[in-house]
Amino acid sequence: MKVLVAMSGGVDSSVAAALLCEQGHEVVGVTLRLWGGESDTGCCSVSDVDDARRVAQQLGIDHLVFNFTDDFHRDVVEPYVADHAAGVTPNPCIECNRHLKFDRLFDRAEILGFDAVATGHHARISADGPLLRVERGADPAKDQSYVVHMLDQSRLARTLFPVGHMTKSDVRHHATRLGLRTASKPDSQDVCFITSTKNEAGETGRSAFLRRRIELHAAEVVDESGQRLGSVDSVELVTLGQRRGVAGGGGTKRFVVDVDVMGRRVTVGPEESLLVDHEVGTAPTWSDGPYSGSVLVQCSAHGAPRAATIVADDSNNVRVVWTHPERRISPGQSLVFYDPTDRFVLGGATTVARTISSATP
């Protein structure tokens, strides 16, 4: 089989390519050039491209570089900035997988005559009766099924996750045995286009990146009765459920329960004020058509699954009714649905903004 392997310059994708070579496939490595600006973190630096190229040389396979910077800016960076300006908490890594790795790259692979696309994600693709499903990776600590939840049957049939059955330790041991230069390379932890470079105000990271692109606004912090408690420098950087950096005092634990960007106001309250009986997700994607019924829902890359019942309606939304009241999820985050055994991904959706509606446990 002719396989195009997305090689980010990390150990997982390096071993994915090596395993496919060992299995006798015709393998070509490709590194996606996504971010055209400064990059000193994540998976878009010049050194990462060089690492991928050098590993391909070690394995004796061809290595390509695809320039998808325009697509990345349109589908990932611009929405990231716009979401923050609107008080939404984006998930750029999921959108990169959705639009670039499992859309744009698939289109290019098909044009070039490849049978499948492989990545180094820690997830598996398994049969569930007549269907294919994304299954959790073998290493619970590294499971990445959450970030590849958008794959449907047509994509699943042409996707390979060669390291999904391995633990991270196994992956590194395999790379060491083969003498791959990425064997001990640390995992990428940050958003690739957020750098440590300081802006004119001496800021780094997310605030520096956004301030170069949008105006950030100070906001007052109030409690649920409207009493002023303090202020924050940038309301666009405040996230629902946040504790750090918002007014506290008196030993009282306060959490952000509402972010009003236009009104320049952040409301804080006790943790109970974050409890709700349901969430609404929009633009759902399914591995095999809309699903309604009992599920487990994961709300962040490494969050604990929550029991719920979901109902897919006709307005491109899905209603998630919690078995027990749960903390609200920040608008913009992904809700990923697993079958009741917590093994297979059924689909996912993006949380929408909603009016505060506290629930009593």
Q: What residues contact residue 118 under an 8 Å CB cut-off, 6+ apart?
A: 3, 4, 5, 6, 16, 17, 20, 159, 160, 161, 162
Cα separation, 96 vs 78, whole angstroms: 12
Contact 125, 114 (CB under 8 A): no
- What is the Cα gyration radius of the chain? 22
How far apart, in Å, do the first and last CA atoms of the chain sit? 54
Task: Decide if 93 is catalytic.
Answer: no
Q: From the CB of residue 46, how many other CB atoms can be counted at a distance below 10 Å?
A: 11
* Structure tokens belonging to residue 115: 């049978």
Active site residue 96: yes
Distance from the Cα of residue 15 to its chain's centroid: 22
**Longest Cα separation, the chain:** 68
Residues 6+ apart with CB under 8 A from 108: 66
Beta-bridge partners for 268: 256
The 3-state DSSP class for residue 1 equals coil
**2 bridge partner residues:** 26
Could you say which of 43, 93, 192, 299 is catalytic? Answer: 192
- Kindly name the residue from 43, 93, 96, 299 that is annotated as catalytic: 96
3-state secondary structure of 133: strand
- CA dist 88 to 105, 187, 280, 347, 353, Å? 28, 27, 15, 21, 8
For residue 187, the 8-state DSSP code is: P
Catalytic site positions: 96, 192
